[in-house]
Structure 1
Amino acid sequence: MNYMLKNENAIYYECAYSCDNALYLRLGSEAFFITDGRYMIDAKTYVKNANVVIATDLYAQALKILKKTKIKKIIFDPKEWSVFGFERMRQKSKIDFIPQVDFSHKKRIIKSDEELKIIAKAAKLGAKAFKHLAKEFRKHGFGKDEYTLTHFAKGILGDFGKYDLSFDPIVAINKNAAKPHAMPTVTTLKKNDLLLVDAGLKYKRYCSDRTRTVQADKHFMFNTHQKFKHKNIQKAYDTVLKAHDNAISKARSGMKAKKIDA
């Protein structure tokens, strides 16, 4: 099978390394990782099962390799490629470029045992980070606005630079927490406010992601089970928690998510 990749995660999956300026070719049994000189040392150190090629013009180098191998067809995912990049490849080649949307995603959708271990590790690191974050918020969070709390969350969740974040943390108080993806505001955290944190970190490029809603008293923790003073809030929380637990108990290998959600 012949295919070309441009997405960082797709490339990493193939050869255990990637960067923000790389192109990957798989041509039958041969593979090529093409990047520029800034990444030469790391690429030659970490890339597995592919020839590392250093070039100033990645597209020109890819075309040179394609011409040399004389292949006639190659698969690509149009979601991965800019118009500029794809046109550079197409206009200067007689190869038949075959679009397959989500080509790499479909290859990666079923996780190996090793990937599952990495994902589990990411989740454990995320849980540990949330414990540290709760402690920090209890000690220094009250009286701080959502901007400051978000700044705290970025540092603690990423272990101050050790891990990349899955996405920018969402820290929202009271009515702002009702928004699916709330932006921070000048609202400050007070005792017994509702506090939502939606965040995660990456481990070996695999993302963890957890959301917790708590009543921010002096003892709060980001545990799954929570207690609230208002009955209506407790009822709503318990309903969501029940659905959460029910989905986990019914989930089976091979099931579609819509069946679990139903």
Structure 2
Amino acid sequence: MQIQKDVRERIKKLLVEHRLDGFLFSSQANVLYISGFRSSNAYVLATAEKFYFFTDARYYERAKQKLKESWELVLLESKPLRTIKQTIKNQGLKVVGFEKDRVSCALRESLRSKGIIWRGFSNFIGKLRAVKGEEEINVMREGVRKSDEIYRELLSFIKQGMSELEVRSFIVSRALSLGAFGESFPAIVAFKESSAVPHWETSNRRIEGKGPLLIDMGILYNHYCTDFTRTIFIGKADDEFKKVYQIVRDAHLYALEKVKVGTPIGEVDKAARDYIKRKGYGKYFTHSTGHGVGIEIHEFPRVYSKGKDASVPIEEGMVFTIEPGIYLPGRFGVRLENMVVVKGGVGNVLSEISLDLVEI
């Protein structure tokens, strides 16, 4: 795909910028991002001249079919790291970077080799991955379109007496039938007081009677993730729920207004957080307002006013979530989440699903 070709060119520029002869990528996510090939055991060695893809016999033949031009394939046999280091030596690479935040101590120790200077980097291509190209955005837009379709069908599917897991099963089944690889994360289906647990583990609990139903779902489409949350109400919503729902909805929109190129991303979180605090629910908003999305469900940058990414300026092409929430322990919770792409200098919501309260 053109996505990976563009990525490789940008990585070559990073090698020059950091004065590296090469870089060894070992994380599955980055290997997938660079090559477009999913493998549980693969490495990518990037150099100024070419890119090497190392994998074992389980994936080698398929990799040969998919990775053709611009790639040098190397079969990993009994001692994979020895093969990788020998390739590095054969190419005369002296200074080589590696992902120090993605490797074990044992792997780091095994990389030591006479004549090679290893330089560890944290999140070496995190910023590169944060800014999506046009083809990446189109893939994610299509993934969100399919996710929207599942959610619309879900509203007609949900019935009294079915379990949270039955709802999740519907999501998974429809995702696969629409061409997705599966879920981008295990869907959260939380009824009544379970909705007050931000990362509730979907259970056998039955949807019986009236109450809020929080649905946090995402699909994996063409290697890219989607992320989406709505909190609906089974039956007629009471006044307190409507009040909290409206506060979360308004906080979401205030955060969206802050999405502009050049604005520190922490300001997006601050807008939602300050509004919820003014309404008296500050202590019940217990997580960041969002996170980057792409090959992985949680990517750089984190949308949080107090985190290390708070000062990161918003850039054209970034894709991240806006998902404020209020969680009243033992009672109920409300979260509303959309993915936003920065296009034309401002935030554009990818989902077409309204933020208005739905009662069924």
Whether the TM-score (by the shorter chain) exceeds 0.5 is yes
CA-CA distance at 1:245 after TM superposition: 1.9
Other-structure match for 1:30: 50
Counterpart of 2:228 in structure 1 is: 210
Cα distance, 1:134–1:74 mapped onto 2, change above 3 Å = same
1:246 aligns with 2:254: yes
Q: Alignment partner of 1:212: what SS?
A: strand
Match of 2:98 in 1: 76
Task: Describe the shift of the 1:247–1:34 C-alpha distance in structure 2 as closer, same or farther (beyond 3 A).
Answer: same
Could you say which residue in structure 2 is the equivalent of 1:190? 208
Unpaired stretches in structure 1, ≥5 consecutive residues: 218-227
> Which residue of the partner structure matches residue 134 of structure 2?
113
Residues 210-244 of structure 1 deviation map (CA, whole Å, 9 limit, x = unaligned): 11111124xxxxxxxxxx52111001101111111
Report deviation, 1:155.
2.4
* Counterpart secondary structure, 2:183: coil
2:59 alignment counterpart: 39
The alpha-carbon distance between structure 1 residues 126 and 42, as it changes in their structure 2 partners (threshold 3 A), is same
Q: CA deviation at 1:161?
A: 7.5
Name the SS of the counterpart of 1:108 in structure 2: helix
Return the structure number with greater strand share: 2
Q: Size of the alignment, in residue pairs?
A: 248
Q: Tell me what 1:164 maps to.
A: 182
CA distance in 1, matches of 2:178, 2:38: 23
Alpha-carbon spacing, 1:120–1:162, altered in 2? closer, same or farther (3 Å):
closer
Structure 2 counterpart of 1:201: 219
**Aligned partner letter, 1:32:** Y
TM-score by length of 1: 0.87
The correspondence for 1:132, drawn from 117, 130, 153, is 153
Cα distance in 2, alignment partners of residues 119 and 9 from structure 1: 16
Q: Does 1 or 2 have the higher relative contact order (CA < 8 Å, sep 6+)? A: 2
Equivalence for 1:221: none
1:28 to 1:124, Cα distance in 2 relative to 1, 3 A: same
From 197, 201, 209, the counterpart of 1:179: 197
- What residue number does 1:60 align with? 82
205-214 or 10-19, which deviates more? 10-19
Greater mean alpha carbon deviation, residues 245-254 or residues 233-242: 245-254
Do the aligned partners of residues 229 and 15 (structure 1) sit closer, same or farther apart at CA in structure 2, a change above 3 Å counting? closer
For 1:6-37, what per-residue CA distance to the aligned partner results, in whole angstroms no more than 9, with x for missing partners? 11221122222231110110122221000011
Which of 236, 248, 253 pairs up with 2:244? 236
Match of 1:100 in 2: 121
CA deviation vs aligned residue, 1:73-115 (integer Å, no higher than 9, x gap): 111111221222222222x443111111000212212111221
Greater mean deviation of Cα atoms: 142-151 or 60-69: 142-151
Identical-residue share of aligned pairs (%): 23
User: What TM-score results when the alignment is normalised by the length of structure 2?
Assistant: 0.64
The gaps in structure 2 that reach 5 residues or longer are 1-14, 16-21, 271-360
Root-mean-square deviation over aligned CA pairs:
1.9
